Structure 1
């Protein structure tokens, strides 16, 4: 019926830190404003863990891949902790665990984009051109997606249907990801 509190705590803390790491990666991917207070907070929370990995891992062009690597390690560690808590042996097929972790990270990235697009649409209705750091950051994250979708489906008479195309693409990719782990 109910979930074990320890399991809930481990899962919540793991997913929260993975969210911060993925946000850091997506912010640099979108070239979002580094001096935004929210960006600064994300960097401050993730930098102590990322610093050793940034020294070891090479950059891929201008991209720092250490947030993705650390997010994958945190996901694997969370899975391992949950398996051990449930009484299972950690000698689970490591390839299968790795695939679950990669698919889980991809699904998390898609969920971040899904909610960011919803937030961007709502902000465009309620407070377009807001100077608050959160709407600016959401706009910076979703802008590359909107530009890509508008190349496929340009605005029709002032009506932008690109969010619908983005939602369809996200749902299609998530359904295919779900098939990988079944």
Structure 2
């Protein structure tokens, strides 16, 4: 029985979910997404307990919510600290190695977030188009993905009603992950 492995899986999964919610909060404010969307409201309520006290210390800057970015970095650092504590001897790792490990983990998290958003947004666009209805989750994902997909649409515009820009962006993101060896990062 692998109790420590199962426990570590559970803890890292819970951290990853919350990290994604905090990252979504930062990105939703960056892209000026619909605040009254039920998904936006859930993200606000899930992050407010930690963000409200943090905003007293970390102010915003030019319309950006720096406190949510700081919370994102803090939660990632806590997760990595747990990971290093369980899997290695932190005393034997040089500080530069820890910084590189943290930066690669942050980059991997952001890229995986956008891969998920673009993939699910593309699938939901087919489903909502077929049903002809409104889906608040699909709307928020579209608002998050649009700034990333817009440059790709300038290169390859939709052809005959088929938009292949999500595939182009996803290939570029996976290329970046492979180029910087981000696969397998916690």
TM-score range, shorter chain: 0.7 to 0.9
Match of 1:134 in 2: 137
Mark the CA change 1:36 to 1:86 in structure 2 (over 3 Å): closer, same or farther.
same
2:120 maps to 119
Equivalent residue, structure 2, for 1:11: 12
Q: 1:155 aligns with which of 137, 154, 158?
A: 158
Q: Partner of 1:60: helix, strand, or coil?
A: coil
How far does residue 76 in structure 1 lie from its aligned partner after superposition?
1.6
Paired residue for 2:24? 23
- Is the alpha carbon distance of 1:46 and 1:94 closer, same or farther for their aligned partners in structure 2, counting shifts above 3 Å? farther
Distance, in Å, in 1 between the alignment partners of 2:167 and 2:76 is: 30
C-alpha distance in 2 between matches for 1:5 and 1:148 = 41
RMSD between aligned residues: 2.5
Q: 1:83 to 1:104 in 2, by over 3 A?
A: closer
Moved more, 122-131 or 25-34: 122-131
> Alignment length, in residue pairs?
182
TM-score (norm 1): 0.85
TM superposition score normalised by structure 2:
0.84
Larger CA deviation: 91-100 vs 164-173: 91-100
CA contact under 8 A between 1:153 and 1:162: conserved in structure 2? Answer: yes
Counterpart CA distance in 2 for 1:86 and 1:130 is 47
User: Residues 28-177 of structure 1: matches in 2 within 5 Å?
Assistant: 28-86=29-87, 88-90=89-91, 92-128=93-129, 130-177=133-180
Structure 2 stretches lacking a partner, 5+ long: none
SS of 1:95's partner is: helix
Unaligned runs of 5+ in 1: none
Q: Alpha carbons of 1:117 and 1:130: their partners in 2 closer, same or farther (altered >3 Å)?
A: farther
4+ residue runs of structure 1 moved beyond 4 angstroms?
Answer: none
